[in-house]
Amino acid sequence: MDTLYLVGTPIGNLEDITLRALRILKEVQLIAAEDTRRALILARRYEIETPIVSYFEGNKLIRQETVLAALDAGDDVALVSEAGMPGLSDPGYELIRAAIERGHQVTPVPGPSAPVTALVVSGLPCDSFLYLGFLPRRQNERWRVLTEVAREQRTLVLFESPHRLRRSLRDIEEVLGDRPLAVCRELTKLYEEVWRGTVSGARRYFDEVEPRGEFTLVVGGATEEQEHWDAERVRSALDELLAQGVRRSTAARRIAAVSGWSRSEVYALGLGEKRELK
């Protein structure tokens, strides 16, 4: 008793759930769900009558105490994400950590995972990868994250929403270059789509096709030989960062990390053009 079960649930197709997961969801005294609507659909499908409470970003502080109180009282609780394994790109890890610190047993009940599903279907190397979660909303922050992984040779896996996909593809191409890419949409659902090609190809494709649904992007890692940008590309990247309000020294450092130019060369290029305008 007093066990917190981390239950993997379908990322799309409701048949993608294990027999053990169904048994646990029926046996526990409480289910804490990131999205109660999705949880109720699953419960109705499989005749699960366990009480369900919400646990999401907006109420996590209050609801965490509710769940911990149930565990303290000796109840078993199942934590389920909106889809996939709880704790990945959701507030579940905070509840997991709190339960561990309180001395409760925490047990995984493995199931589907969108990052792993996208990775294996991408056709890109799966032996080693880096999961980035969602890219930041602000372009300045996206550039910072992408710059940090620009020389990473492992395959990159990340989430993106439909309304930010085009902007993120442009930023990925600008910072990481034109790499192999798989864009996975609505995995395991009726309109599942896996687009495979390059970053530039995906950018052109989704400039013409309206992005719909949730996306998982799988990006090829950096090659051992770093691409060397030409001066025009460096100027364009520098102008874009400066327009966002990034300090010149910071912009030069970020561009240097991915361009094959030194920080001083990038900085000098910008200053040289600035002097010519005077």
| Radius of gyration of the CA atoms of the chain, in A | 22
Q: Quick one: pLDDT at residue 15?
A: 97
Out of 3.40.50.2000, 1.10.3210.10, 3.30.950.10, 3.90.230.10, which CATH number does the structure's domain 115-219 have? Answer: 3.30.950.10
Per residue in 106-144, pLDDT (tens digit) is: 999 999 999 999 999 999 999 999 999 999 999 889 989
Per residue in 259-270, pLDDT (tens digit) is: 878 888 888 886
Q: Which residue has the higher pLDDT, 260 or 211?
A: 211
Checking if the pLDDT of 90 tops 80, the result is yes
Q: Map out the domains of the chain as residue ranges.
A: 3-112, 115-219, 231-277
Q: Quick one: pLDDT at residue 226?
A: 61
Checking if the pLDDT of 11 tops 90, the result is yes
Q: Quick one: pLDDT at residue 264?
A: 84
Contact 143, 171 (CB under 8 A): yes
Checking if the pLDDT of 202 tops 90, the result is yes
Q: Quick one: pLDDT at residue 205?
A: 97
Same fold, 3-112 and 115-219: no
Q: Quick one: pLDDT at residue 241?
A: 85
Per residue in 151-160, pLDDT (tens digit) is: 899 999 999 9
For the structural domain made of 3-112, what CATH number should be given?
Answer: 3.40.1010.10
pTM, two decimal places: 0.82
